[in-house]
Structure 1
Amino acid sequence: MAGKQDRGPRSLDRASGQPLWIQLLADLRRRLDADEFTAAFPGELTLGAEYEISRHTVREALRVLREEGRVTAARGRAPRLAEPAEIQQPLGALYSLFASVEAAGLAQRSIVRTLDVRADGVIAARLGLEESTPLVYLERLRLAGADPLAVDRVWLPASLAAPLLDADFSHTGLYQEYRERCEITVTGGQESIRAVMPSDAERQLLGIGSDIATFSIERLGCSYGQPAEWRHTLVRGDRFGVTAQFSARSGYQFEMSAPHRYEGHQR
């Protein structure tokens, strides 16, 4: 928490050559990080007066904060702090986390931690392959707005997925790239979801404390019945939820099974 001397607006430097709205954006981020606006977020006129800038300049900075999911604003209404959006996923449906984040109104991007070819006997066996089969491995930190949402680890048969090594996964969905670059469409598969306590390293990546659990999602994705991916995703429990549909005729349809213990190499 910043001290009192660090609170309040800082003067913008009109001689720096950096656009005023970018300077304003940086200072508003600083003040947000210091929890300065817990009572209320100032309106456009107030910010304009505080920083001695035009309303247009204020709006440019607020536009980015809205895209990051940090404030909300509607036409004719003052901006306010945004509540953390919960990403909803339907049970029993093939989904893309990329699409679901953007459907929640948040900017989606990924920090690619690893993209290479490796062997992993445990994962290869789950894909129905020989243990020494080369696999394309992709590990990403997924962000929703400005905040970490999930650690996503995916293994794909290199014989199918080698062209993905040239893809930029910082802002694109895996399934789209898989389809366009490799002509592989993931059409279904099996998935298990369970609540787990993440490791200290995973907590640090996700930016969460010891009081928040995570969802562990394991997926065997298939392309017309043939295994095409094994995925392990660790999602923040405070930002992710699942939904189910039921009917009087069919009720809930689900199977109970013992979850896999992941024994592959983690980074």
Structure 2
Amino acid sequence: MSEGPSGPPAVRLDRSSSTPLWRQLAHDLRSRLDRGEFGRGLPGEFELGLQYSVSRHTVREALRQLRVDGVISTGRGRRPRLAAPDPVIAQPTGVAYSLFSSVEARGLVQTSVVRVLTVRADGVIAPRLGLEESTPLVHLERLRLADDRPLALDRVWLPASVGEPLLDVDFRRTSLYEELARTGIAITGGQETVRAVIPSRAEHDALGLQPPSAVFSVQRTGTSSGVPIEWRHTLIRADRFALTSTLNPGPGATEPPSGGIPVSTLTPSFG
């Protein structure tokens, strides 16, 4: 670093890189924020332009990305500041749940961007539902948002015999389970596996994550009266979602002493 024209250190960006300057700037500012260099607030646009020798347009694009990522908050007439932490959506394990309902119960507004809604065969997914490989399936893919910020990338497959009545549904502001219930079908059980994965670059971008970020990978088979009718794969941001589990005494175990903690809250650093 060297001294900039107004005193603060000038920061060099790689102008030969294929990565846009605004994205490099956003990445560097995020790193500096993580190191606590700015405290709770960032310098103004003009000062940042001097430090990085870039235009105010470049600075604004970088700040816009940090705002979309939930790193900072901005407002007319005031400098960008670190954003308040997002409320975490806590979901108990061992119950059939709707992500839509879990988000709304936390006081957030859940909306979706529908990326795919179609009928097609899938020789990998159909057997997971106990069907022949050539069986038509309804495939729904949504980017799930909580208060207009990416939360989850959700992919669902249903037998066409179950899902075809839903092809005309506007899923931007409703729950799949609610819409299934309108047709007389309720998800009453199933199996779910949760693990940590590193999503693809396209999935990073869709979820508004800085690579490499790990996420929750949730694979679920949903059943209605014991019959598999849903196979789902959801990638959920770890910084906005947590699993909670109530622990019961095992064989030979005793209740925790007074003051003990009977509820375990799992908040992994993956998504």
Q: Same fold (TM over 0.5)?
A: yes
Q: Gaps spanning 5+ residues in structure 2: where?
A: 1-25, 27-43, 50-62, 254-261, 263-271
Q: Distance in 1 between matches of 2:207 and 2:68?
A: 19
The C-alpha deviation readout for 1:164-218, integer Å capped at 9, x for no partner, is: 00101001000000110x2111100011000011111100100101242101000
Q: Distance in 2 between matches of 1:171 and 1:247?
A: 37
Question: Is 2:222–2:231's contact at 8 Å kept on the other side of the alignment?
Answer: yes
Equivalence for 2:130: 128
Q: 1:81 to 1:3 in 2, by over 3 A?
A: closer
Equivalence for 1:242: 243
The C-alpha deviation readout for 1:102-141, integer Å capped at 9, x for no partner, is: 1122111000000000000111100001111000000000
Equivalence for 1:221: 222
Q: Gaps spanning 5+ residues in structure 1: where?
A: 8-28, 52-70, 72-79, 253-267
Q: Distance in 2 between matches of 1:156 and 1:219?
A: 12
Q: Distance in 1 between matches of 2:188 and 2:204?
A: 32
**Paired AA for residue 161 in structure 1:** G
Question: Is 1:212–1:238's contact at 8 Å kept on the other side of the alignment?
Answer: no
Which one of 89, 101, 104 corresponds to residue 103 of structure 2?
101
Q: Does 1:3 align with 2:45?
A: yes
Q: Distance in 1 between matches of 2:173 and 2:137?
A: 22
Aligned residues: 195
**Paired AA for residue 67 in structure 2:** D
Question: Is 2:92–2:244's contact at 8 Å kept on the other side of the alignment?
Answer: yes
Offset at residue 230 of structure 1 (A): 0.3
CA RMSD, Structure 1 to Structure 2 (Å): 3.1
Offset at residue 85 of structure 1 (A): 1.7
Q: What is the TM-score normalised by the length of structure 1?
A: 0.65
Which one of 164, 170, 173 corresponds to residue 162 of structure 1?
164
Offset at residue 247 of structure 1 (A): 1.6
**Paired AA for residue 33 in structure 1:** R
**Paired AA for residue 110 in structure 2:** Q
Q: 1:248 to 1:161 in 2, by over 3 A?
A: same
Q: How does 1:139-218 map to 2 (within 5 A)?
A: 139-180=141-182, 182-218=183-219
Q: What is the TM-score normalised by the length of structure 2?
A: 0.65
**Paired AA for residue 222 in structure 1:** T
Where is the strand percentage greater, Structure 1 or Structure 2? Answer: 2
Q: Distance in 2 between matches of 1:126 and 1:149?
A: 26
Offset at residue 249 of structure 1 (A): 4.9
Question: Is 1:109–1:142's contact at 8 Å kept on the other side of the alignment?
Answer: yes
Q: Distance in 1 between matches of 2:196 and 2:66?
A: 31
